[in-house]
Amino acid sequence: MQNLDSELLRTFLAVAHTGSVTDGAAKIHRSQSATSIQIKRLEEILGQPVFERHGRGVVLTEVGRTLVPVAQDVTARLDTVLRDLKDVRIEGKLRLGIPDDHGRARLTRIIADFARQHPAVELDVTCAISAGFPEALHKKDLDLAIYEVSAPGAGEEVLAEDPTCWVCARDHDFSGVDVLPVALFDVSCWWRDAAIKSLEDSGKSYRIAYSSQSVSGVVAAVEAGIAIGVLGRSSLHAGLKVVNQAYNLALTPTSKLVMASADLNDSKPRATMKSTIRAAFLDQSS
C-alpha cells in the first residue's frame, strides 16, 4: 500500500498557497522540476489530480481542497512534535496591527491560537483603522500588519479578496433623487477615494450625508436608510441590495486584504505568525 509522505504534503501546501508551481518551488527552496515531480507523485498516490492548470498558475481541485486541511494538520503536528522534542521555544516580542472590521473575528482567533502555542512570545496587538498601518510599518512602529488595499504593492501578500459595490437598504430607493446621499469613511483611505471616483465618473450629484471611521458605521447608516455606501460583498445580507446598475454608478475596485512586514528579515515570532495567518486563510478559502 502506498503512503503519503510529509514532504509531498509540504510541497503540495506550498503550491496551493502560492497558486503557482514556480512560486511554490521558490517557497520551499526546490527547483520547479523537482516540485512538479513531487506533485505528480502525490497525484499518482491519490489517483486523482490535486490541481487544475489555470493560465500561468494552478487552482485546487475538489480533491485538493479536501486535502488542504489534512495536510495542514499533519505537517503542523509533525512540527509541534519536533519542536517539543528539541525543546525549541519561540521567544521575543511581536507588534501586530489588525483591522478593526474586516475579518477581525477570524484574526482574533488566529492570535489567540498563536498565543496558546507560543506563550513565550510577547504580543503587542493594535486593532484600529488600518489606513495608517503602512506608515506604521515604514516607521517601524509595527513589525507585521494586515490591512486592505485596492491593488497590492511590493511586499504586500494577498490573504483574501472581497469585491466592493454600492449598496442601499432593501426597503429604500434613492434612484429618483437629484442628489444622492452617501455614507463615506471620514478618513483619507482608498475606500473613500474609490467611492468619490465612482460618483464622479458616473456624473452623479451627491452629498455626504454620513461619515464614519469604520465599516460597521457605514453599514449602520445604509441599513437605517440614511444613505447609500460602498461595502464589500462579504458585508451584504438580506436587508441590503446592490444598486450599481440601478443607479448607473461606476464600478468600484475589489478590496484585497494583505499582510506586510516592516522589513525583509523576519524574526522567529514574525515568521511563525505569518505562517499561522497564511494557513488559516488558506484553510478558509478551501
Alpha carbon distances (Å) from 96 to 127, 251, 257, 274 = 9, 33, 15, 11
The predicted-structure confidence for 143-153, as pLDDT tens digits, reads as follows 999 999 988 98
Q: Is the pLDDT of residue 283 over 70?
A: no
Assigned architecture for domain 6-86: Orthogonal Bundle (1.10)
Model-level pTM greater than 0.75? no
- Residue ranges per structural domain of the chain: 6-86, 92-160+256-285, 162-253
- Please state which CATH class domain 92-160+256-285 belongs to: alpha beta
How big is the CA angle at 168 (ends 162 and 173), to the nearest 5 degrees?
Answer: 155
Q: Is the pLDDT of residue 252 over 50?
A: yes
Q: DSSP 3-state assignment of 265?
A: coil
Secondary structure (DSSP) of 46-106: HTS-SEEEETTEEEE-HHHHHHHHHHHHHHHHHHHHHHHHHT----EEEEEEEESSTTHHH
What pLDDT score was predicted for residue 265? Answer: 81
CATH of 162-253, one of 3.30.70.1230, 3.40.50.300, 2.40.50.180, 3.40.190.10: 3.40.190.10
Average pLDDT, stretch 44-52?
Answer: 94
Alpha carbon distances (Å) from 224 to 191, 216, 217 = 20, 12, 11
* The two domains 92-160+256-285 and 162-253 share their CATH topology (first three levels equal): yes
The predicted-structure confidence for 211-226, as pLDDT tens digits, reads as follows 988 888 899 999 999 9
Q: Is the pLDDT of residue 118 over 80?
A: yes
Residues recorded for the chain: 286
Average pLDDT, stretch 65-79?
Answer: 90
